């Protein structure tokens, strides 16, 4: 059972569900972020605008909508009518959440690198946030979360590589938060992106954005290394890692 300190939290004993009615923006952000980390199905309902940038551009003005972020990277935006979403992103996208700079809205991002597309949902009035830990007998079981993977490395940095020193987690960059920020045994900055399951090109694109953003942010000529940590990667992702001089370490979320 997942609980939350928000006074509007609704919990069900022995149920893998968290449901918050009219949470604060900070609580909504933390709940969505935790659900994404844990590979849960995340839904948000409220009054929002929807912007899409990619091969074309579109905008939906403010209206009540139901947003679904799936653990396979798909994103769906539904209204009260019809069975099809009014906007969507396919599986393989990366989801992220933040509170807007002026602290008046919850912002959901769903991005993919090939082709370059981004769906941005800005929720001005968050009426409901829910996360669901789902099981599917036809899917490949994944044991553990990204938090488990992070904790394994923090407890034993040598799992990443000998001489690695973690310095921070969730280190903010203009491109988003880096999972683990540290140094190798020669003093070079290391950016570590964690994934709990087999990953493809989108994860490589995300890591590259973090490395590029941090390089600009630090205003330094020092070499930065980017390391993707996951149980496995696709052949295409491995080729992209080599092409962009990024690295891969195979590691499961749990020792089991």
The DSSP annotation for the chain comes to ----S-TTEEE-TT-SEEEEES--HHHHHHHHHHHHHTT-EEEEEEEEEEEEESSSEEEEEEEEEEEEE-TTS-EEEE-SS-SS-SEEE-TT-EEEEEE-TTSS-EEEEEEETTTTEEEEEEEEEEEEEEEE----TTSPP--S-HHHHHHHHHH-GGGT-TT-EEEEEEEEETTEEEEEEEE-TTS-EEEEEE-SS-B-HHHHHHHHHHHHHHHHHHT--S-EEEEEEES-B-HHHHHHHHHTT-EEEE--SS--
Residue 8: what pLDDT?
A: 40
How far apart CA 145 and CA 37 sit, in angstroms, is 7
Asked if pLDDT for residue 19 goes beyond 90, the answer is yes
pLDDT of residue 135: 61
pLDDT at site 222: 67
Range ranked top by mean pLDDT from 27-41, 175-189, 206-220: 175-189
CA separation for the pair 50, 48 (Å, rounded): 7
pLDDT digits (tens, 9 = 90+) for 141-150: 456 788 889 9
**pLDDT exceeds cutoff 80 at 1:** no
Q: Structural domains in the chain?
A: 9-132 (2.70.180.20), 146-250 (3.40.1350.10)
Confidence label for 133 from pLDDT (cuts 50, 70 and 90) = confident
What the block records as the tokens of 241 is 């890692």
Identify the bridge partners of residue 17 per DSSP, sorted by sequence position.
132
pLDDT beyond 50 at 33? yes
Quick one: pLDDT at residue 6? Answer: 43
Do the beta carbons of residue 246 and residue 208 sit within 8 Å? yes
Burial class of residue 77 (count of CB atoms within 10 Å of its CB; 0-12, 13-18, 19+): buried
Quick one: average pLDDT of 66-82?
92
Q: Pick the closest to residue 109 from 117, 100, 118 (CA basis).
A: 118
pTM of the model: 0.55
> Quick one: pLDDT band at residue 219, thresholds 50, 70, 90?
low
Angle 180-184-190 (CA atoms, 0-180°, nearest 5)?
40
CA distance linking residue 34 with residue 45, whole number of Å: 17
């Amino acid at each position: 059972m997942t609980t939350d300190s928000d006074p509007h939290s609704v919990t069900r004993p022995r149920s893998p569900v968290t449901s918050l009615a009219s949470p604060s923006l900070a609580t909504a952000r933390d709940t969505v972020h935790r659900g994404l980390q844990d590979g849960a199905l995340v839904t948000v309902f409220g009054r929002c605008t929807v912007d899409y940038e990619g091969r074309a551009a579109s905008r939906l003005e403010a209206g009540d909508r139901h947003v679904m972020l799936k653990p396979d990277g798909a994103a769906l935006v539904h209204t009260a009518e019809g069975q099809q979403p009014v906007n969507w992103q396919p599986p393989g996208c990366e989801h992220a959440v933040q509170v807007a700079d002026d602290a008046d809205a919850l912002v959901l991002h769903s991005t993919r690198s090939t082709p370059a597309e981004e769906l941005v949902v800005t929720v001005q009035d968050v009426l409901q946030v829910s996360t669901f830990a789902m099981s599917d007998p036809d899917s490949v079981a994944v044991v553990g979360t990204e938090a488990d993977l992070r904790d394994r490395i923090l407890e034993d940095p040598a799992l990443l590589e000998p001489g690695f020193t973690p310095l921070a987690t969730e280190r903010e960059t203009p491109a988003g938060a880096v999972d683990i920020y540290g140094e190798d045994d020669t003093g070079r900055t290391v950016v570590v992106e964690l994934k709990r399951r087999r990953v493809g090109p989108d994860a490589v694109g995300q890591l590259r954005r973090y490395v590029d953003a941090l390089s600009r942010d630090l205003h330094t000529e020092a070499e930065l290394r980017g390391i993707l940590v996951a149980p496995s990667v696709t052949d295409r992702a491995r080729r992209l890692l080599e092409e962009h001089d990024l690295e891969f370490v195979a590691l499961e979320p749990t020792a089991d």
